[in-house]
Amino acid sequence: MGSKEDLRKLPSVDAVLNEAEVRGLAREHGRDVVLWAVREVLEETRQAILEGAPLSKPSELIGRVTARVSEIMQPSLQPAINATGVIIHTNLGRAPLSEAAREAMQAVARSYSNLEYDLEAGQRGSRYHHAQALLTRLTGAESALVVNNNASALLLILSALARGREVIISRGQLIEIGGGFRIPEVMAQSGARLVEVGTTNRTYARDYEQAVTERTAAFLRVHHSNFRLVGFTHQAALSELVGLARQRHLLTIDDLGSGALLDTAAFGLAHEPTPQESIAQGADLVCFSGDKLLGGPQAGIILGRADLIASLREHPLARALRVDKLTLAALQANLLHYLRSEALEKVPVWRMIAWRAEELHSRAVAWSTALGEIDVATSVIEGHSPIGGGSLPGETLPTYLLAIDTPAPDALAARLRASQPPVIARVEEGRLVLDPRTVLPEEDAIFIDALCVALNA
């Protein structure tokens, strides 16, 4: 128990606020912010004294107040440098946006915009048309709708078109997506009744056919975007489901999860089903994410029949799930890269996928050379970059890593995370490793400075 004398000597809030250094903080950051910091620091000090700690010196108290003000005023969401090699890193914000997408967001943010204004007619318009034309041109779909993520896209589809009715899905596709959200739970929220068919590893078209009743509304196919089934497996092809659904006057819904407009097989990866393929095979509705392999902002993109898309737009849930002007601006700019056939050069995710191993080797060697004056053992080693983000599970690309031998790699990783901006690395086999595939070239100078500071600390 701390002494009562120390508690009595603890300065008051007003006394701390009247210190010259603290008054300077108030002028810079505002009195309210400094008042919060002083109250928090004094309360923490009081509790520490009660637990037996000695009274802090006045200079220590003021130092802690200064640090607390800095902490309060520092935004918790901040840019970071991804040196992990995981291209679509969910914890680090998934896809970084292209320069054009960032500029488009800034342009509509700085002033008013025609978000819901028809310039030709001079009256209210619809926000939904801004990305629709680009999406239909790129995929061949009749119409398109953008909501705030792919889970909400599926929720809207099922709520609007299958509430109170049955939706048939393979047991092997009852997946859990990020954050613990599960497809059966999303379906339950929509009011649709889930009908499971087949087994975990093998489901045939006949399983769907035998499950159809007068209550059936649709077949749902969910792509295995974050895990892989191997061995004795079979899943009914989308074309089979489409043919059967048309015979029975049902809908076919294809949830692609990630959704790639380019062929991933061209880069030595497994083939990721594309929206264009789903539309060409006759799926009535297709949905996928905007911030994964598409490389754009967080969004849920729905493609398909014009009459069905119109029904989705009119559903009350659509308003709750709609996207804002910044998302639409970034998405438009991102889609234009595909329309101009420049996605490999302009969209960061695809630029990273397209990096050749020899180019990555040169960057890793340049990093090692830049650390030449620091007393640390480095080497450039072969490695693999995961795609990540619920896309192409188990698929990696060959890369070269800068490996740093240090007695305390975890401590070095922590120092890098504390830098501004934070640098996120990974530890493998007792070494800190850094992958140039996911460090943007324009970040190299800042990255090297952070690494030097962390190594010298």
Q: Does the structure show a pLDDT above 60 at 1?
A: no
Under the banding of pLDDT at 50, 70 and 90, the label for residue 238 is: very high
> What proportion of the chain, given as a percentage, has pLDDT over 90?
78
Q: For residues 86 and 95, give the distance between their C-alpha atoms in angstroms, rounded to a whole number.
A: 11
SS3 content of the chain, % helix, strand, coil (to 5): 50, 15, 35
- Classify residue 117 as exposed, middle or buried by CB count within 10 Å of its CB (0-12, 13-18, 19+): middle
Q: Does the structure show a pLDDT above 90 at 157?
A: yes
Listed in sequence order, the DSSP H helices in 75-190 are 99-109, 129-139, 150-162, 183-190
Q: Which of 142-151, 231-240, 261-270, 308-317 has the lowest mean pLDDT?
A: 231-240
Q: How many CB atoms lie within 10 A of CB 367?
A: 22
pTM of the predicted protein model: 0.90
The values of phi and psi at residue 389, to 5°, are 60, 35
CA atoms within 13 A on the CB side of 159: 19
The values of phi and psi at residue 363, to 5°, are -65, -40
Q: For residues 414 and 438, give the distance between their C-alpha atoms in angstroms, rounded to a whole number.
A: 19
Q: Which two tokens stand for residue 132?
A: 């629709």
Angle at 445 between CA 439 and CA 448, to 5 degrees: 80
* 8 A C-beta contact, residue 402 and residue 367: yes
pLDDT for 392 equals 82
Q: Does the structure show a pLDDT above 70 at 2?
A: no
pLDDT for 376 equals 87
Task: Quick: pLDDT tens for 406-457.
Answer: 999 999 999 999 999 999 999 999 999 999 999 999 999 999 999 999 998 7
* 8 A C-beta contact, residue 238 and residue 280: no
The fold of the 97-342 domain, in CATH, is Aspartate Aminotransferase; domain 2 (3.40.640)
Average pLDDT over residues 367-381: 90
Q: For residues 291 and 349, give the distance between their C-alpha atoms in angstroms, rounded to a whole number.
A: 10
Task: Quick: pLDDT tens for 183-232.
Answer: 778 778 888 999 998 887 888 889 888 989 999 999 999 987 665 666 66
Task: Quick: pLDDT tens for 38-73.
Answer: 999 999 999 999 988 888 888 999 999 999 999 999
Task: Quick: pLDDT tens for 330-356.
Answer: 999 999 999 999 999 999 999 999 999
Q: Does the structure show a pLDDT above 70 at 141?
A: yes
Give domain limits for the chain: 4-73, 81-89+351-456, 97-342
Q: For residues 416 and 412, give the distance between their C-alpha atoms in angstroms, rounded to a whole number.
A: 6
Average pLDDT over residues 113-131: 92
Q: Does the structure show a pLDDT above 80 at 389?
A: no
pLDDT for 174 equals 74
Q: State how far Cα 179 lies from the chain centre.
A: 12
Architecture per CATH, domain 81-89+351-456, reads as: Alpha-Beta Complex (3.90)
Task: Quick: pLDDT tens for 75-85.
Answer: 889 999 999 99
For the chain, what is the mean pLDDT? 92
pLDDT for 419 equals 94
Between the CA of residue 137 and those of 122, 143, 228, 275, 279, what are the distances in Å?
Answer: 26, 10, 31, 12, 12
Under the banding of pLDDT at 50, 70 and 90, the label for residue 374 is: confident
Q: Which of 127-141, 214-228, 289-303 has the lowest mean pLDDT?
A: 214-228
Q: For residues 104 and 328, give the distance between their C-alpha atoms in angstroms, rounded to a whole number.
A: 9
Q: Does the structure show a pLDDT above 80 at 105?
A: yes
Q: Which residue has the higher pLDDT, 243 or 203?
A: 243
Between the CA of residue 451 and those of 206, 400, 424, 432, what are the distances in Å?
Answer: 58, 18, 11, 11
